Structure 1
Amino acid sequence: MSRWSPRDAEGEPEGLILFDGVCVFCSRWVRYVIDRDPRARFSFMPIQSERGRALAARFGIDPKAPQTNAVIWNGRAWFKSDAALTVLGALPRTRRLAILKSVPRPVRDALYDLIARNRYRIFGRTQTCMVPSKSDRARFP
Structure 2
Amino acid sequence: MKSVLLIGMLFCFFAMPTSLHAQEQPTGPQYAYVGLEPDIVTNYAGDNSKKLGYVRVTIEMMVLDPSKIVDVEHHMPLLRATAIEVFGAQPEDKIRSLTGREDIRRMVLQKFKDIMKRETGEDVIENIIFTKYLRQGG
What's the TM-score, normalizing by structure 1? 0.30
Flag the structure with larger Rg: 2
What's the TM-score, normalizing by structure 2? 0.30
